[in-house]
Amino acid sequence: MAKEPTAPADNAGNAAPNGGAAPSLNILAQYVKDLSFENPGAPQTLVNREKAPEISINVNVNANPIAQGDYDVVLTLNAEAKSGEKTVFNIELVYGGVFRIANFPQEHMLPLLFIECPRLLFPFARQIIADASRNGGFPPLMIDPIDFAQMFQQRMAAEQLKQQTAANTQPTN
């Protein structure tokens, strides 16, 4: 019989390099906050498909503290399919997760909340969008992976520009 591996007696594998507790990120809950599927042209749009509609997708991420170390991270996805000027379908999903984050340096918190947490939520939100479009009579809408790191960098750059603009427009006496 093979010997079972045992944890180190001093829990050295669980300690952070600085001797403190190890950083942890846990998902406490995931939920659909809002889901809407609009199919305004049905049934005509379901039978008269001459070409694939143009699909635009908008993504937004928000995060708010809800308790000490617990955060509500919300991923908002809007997908609109159009054929010319006519809306074929419109899907809006607000999908959230409650995350417990502990023992991370403060400078890592924003990237965790706006990159890593949405990255963990995205596959579930993507499946809900695909199911909604399929249940509406269309092929499943499989959203391509999202670069949340790039979104975060753009958000930070926009915030920095906003602060610089505000500082430059302050009246001087």
Residue 156: both structure tokens together: 């930070």
Question: Is 6 within a domain?
Answer: no
Give the type of residue at 120: L
* Residue 7 CB-density burial (10 A; 0-12 exposed, 13-18 middle, 19+ buried): exposed
Question: Is 14 within a domain?
Answer: no
Closest C-alpha to 59, from 159, 143, 138, 157? 143
- List beta partners, residue 61: 75
pLDDT tens, 11-28?
444 445 556 789 999 999
pLDDT tens, 28-64?
999 999 999 999 988 888 887 778 889 999 999 999 9
Q: Are 77 and 92 in contact (CB under 8 A)?
A: yes
- Structure confidence at residue 135 (pLDDT): 96
Alpha carbon distance 98, 82 (integer Å): 34
Question: Is 52 within a domain?
Answer: yes
For residue 135, give the CATH number of its domain: 3.10.420.10
Q: Are 149 and 115 in contact (CB under 8 A)?
A: yes
Q: Are 144 and 112 in contact (CB under 8 A)?
A: no
Domain interval for residue 108: 20-141
Q: Are 89 and 138 in contact (CB under 8 A)?
A: yes
- Structure confidence at residue 91 (pLDDT): 98
Domain count, the chain: 1
